[in-house]
Structure 1
């Protein structure tokens, strides 16, 4: 664990367009996108307390695979330590993927065009971090939280088995976490928001889109103004769907497209408006911070996927790496996990964490698949079938690992 005595906070941000010009074979669900509905972006946030610098990046992509190569490049070229870098995807299913699939992971693979796109995005990441550093200025930050009833549990018992559906009685975290970063005179610089929902509202249109997450961040940026950058991070998203979605993999009609984008805008507005409300109500902000960062990699016994999508070709290995990343800002913990964590694991983490303000970031620095709680294995839910880790290792590894890492910041 790397932490330091308190220092004065400096914050820098950047936002760059990562919309591909050539859409050939970049649809992670197979084939090519037929067009671009709205652009996709990479957003970067650099925090510095005078002793430690951390970089947080959020990209409008379905997933970011193993980010080791680009994190090593960032450390080499910019001097930001490897374990001080968190790269996450908003998980819009209407955008490409980047990065390699880790051995044993259950993730969407990509053709050569995906590798070319990945290399281009990596260059954009370096550029964004340089831009963010150049814009760095004295700042203060504060935390707030609200709620939005946009997500719903998707594990429904249908015709004698568990399937993907709508289960309003299932576990669902409605919290909208908001970190506000502003100048010393009160002008907003950045908002980091955290919410648990799949951006699958317009899946089936076969058009590039930032989907629900993009609609929410665009709303925040538009309403706060002043060049503010809003970063979307995923909470415990593994078992959470949007309440309203097109519900198709491909082949949407014109009328269905109209419906999908209306639903995207409406639900994005709900989360974005709540984030704006919460950000505006944060009264306790400080420029005196202590930043900490750490990473832990757990080798967990691999479980083969069951009834997963055809493009998820899982490499057979003895163990799959589960990455845990942590960034702390005073008494706030941003706890990253390299998969889609389900709600009950996060609830346990919240109960056991020594910091009440513990936010979970799914798909942090890799995406190895769904990460299901131990109790759900007996139900063979969608998340269990898509989990690459044997029962008894994911939940305990995540909770015990992150709690231990957080405790390390308090020494």
Structure 2
């Protein structure tokens, strides 16, 4: 299926290899008024731990690219934000990638794309969106202004914190814990440090739903927030300064945390059960964080002039209706739904963004077919249109298929072929 939009990398963004400059900023986005901000049935009652945005600025004199990670359940179509960044800061909109940690104890922002399956927000959500946009632009401006000469490296580890959540039991498919199901346990780590070896930022990528404390009705960064706080505390204590840890979600469309609150939807837990959930959140966040720090310690961040380039494209996919969904989920009528793909190249690493919750098998195919060993998938990048399963999964009425807005035969190939085409355009290799 041809892309709706395609900016040729070689023509518009030739790889450039000047001195790398990196800036990273963290800013609080905890809402003061929680009214109307819960993306699912119910309401937020309190703040357990604060929410943050974290931005990473990369530049080398010729090319600039930025990545934004938000402690939110999701960001919808952020095209207005990306255009604003281009207008106000001069960074091309196609060089801006925005994702969310997917904590279910936080609001959503931005509009729902026509045809997409998401929990649309009301007036309070759109007002909060503008607040978050303002803080993102301010943080990017600061990150660029404070960027300093840097070097870069990447590595991988593993963490057994996630488990497949599509379970067949009692004659039906449901959400649960399925240890026999596919699960990618890779912890990707991108390390950025200054020329004196002081950490600037650590980008972590892992595949898990941040739903450990879902059901408490309290604002929380959940597992990802706990992991980032631990990394930032350790790096700050050990090296001084204020290093930033950015969490990006990998192929988490079919992945649950191993330990969660376990409360049926809509049931309010007692305080002791809630306390155990927060203990599980901290423990699992620590496990991913500790592995990320171990990997970072072994990374030789020697590349001070990596090639940087970026590209985005949109594939117009046919629409199918969702089924067996949460009552607050709506799907606006449309003939097509936009599948947004993005690529940020940093040296020999490709950060491949996809605008939905990608499942394990799609990433396994992408990684197997990619000419680049370091191909990192970022789910819910620049939009969240729904779940994005592999073709074989459509044989079963699992949650990721019911919540997918695209029919069989138009998801897996569109993602894999589209991302591979971009990677080959930026890194070379057969088209």
Regarding TM over 0.5, the answer is yes
CA contact (8 A) 2:114 2:337 kept: yes
User: Cα–Cα, structure 1 residues 164 and 31, in superposed 2: closer, same or farther, change >3 Å?
Assistant: closer
Shift of 1:189: 0.4
Q: Distance in 2 between matches of 1:285 and 1:152?
A: 35
With 160-169 and 76-85 compared, the bigger mean Cα shift is at 160-169
Q: Distance in 1 between matches of 2:284 and 2:406?
A: 33
SS in 2 for 1:231: strand
Shift of 1:285: 2.2
Equivalence for 2:4? none
Gaps in structure 2 of 5+ consecutive residues? 1-8
Equivalence for 2:409? 392
State whether structure 2 residue 364 is matched by structure 1 residue 347: yes
CA contact (8 A) 2:210 2:224 kept: yes
Shift of 1:32: 2.4
Q: Distance in 2 between matches of 1:176 and 1:126?
A: 29
Shift of 1:410: 2.1
CA contact (8 A) 2:74 2:384 kept: yes
State whether structure 2 residue 32 is matched by structure 1 residue 21: yes
Post-superposition Cα deviations, 1:262-312, rounded to whole Å, max 9, x if no partner, equal 000000000001011111111252101110100110000101001011111
SS in 2 for 1:167: coil
SS in 2 for 1:166: coil
State whether structure 2 residue 318 is matched by structure 1 residue 305: no
Equivalence for 2:137? 126
SS in 1 for 2:104: coil
State the TM-score, normalized to the length of structure 1.
0.99
1:407 paired residue among 424, 428, 431: 424
Q: How does 1:253-292 map onto structure 2 within 5 Å? A: 253-292=270-309
With 307-316 and 23-32 compared, the bigger mean Cα shift is at 23-32
CA contact (8 A) 2:192 2:301 kept: no
SS in 1 for 2:165: strand
Equivalence for 1:383? 400
User: Cα–Cα, structure 1 residues 188 and 172, in superposed 2: closer, same or farther, change >3 Å?
Assistant: same
1:4 paired residue among 15, 22, 26: 15
Shift of 1:221: 0.4
Equivalence for 1:79? 90
Give aligned pairs, total: 411
State whether structure 2 residue 244 is matched by structure 1 residue 233: no
CA contact (8 A) 2:341 2:355 kept: yes
Shift of 1:7: 1.4
Q: Distance in 1 between matches of 2:217 and 2:269?
A: 8
1:102 paired residue among 90, 106, 113: 113
Q: Distance in 2 between matches of 1:123 and 1:6?
A: 31
Equivalence for 1:326? 343
State whether structure 2 residue 212 is matched by structure 1 residue 201: yes
Shift of 1:247: 2.2
CA RMSD of aligned residues (A): 0.8
Equivalence for 1:242? 257
CA contact (8 A) 1:25 1:31 kept: no
1:169 paired residue among 180, 183, 201: 180
Q: How does 1:151-170 map onto structure 2 within 5 Å? A: 151-170=162-181
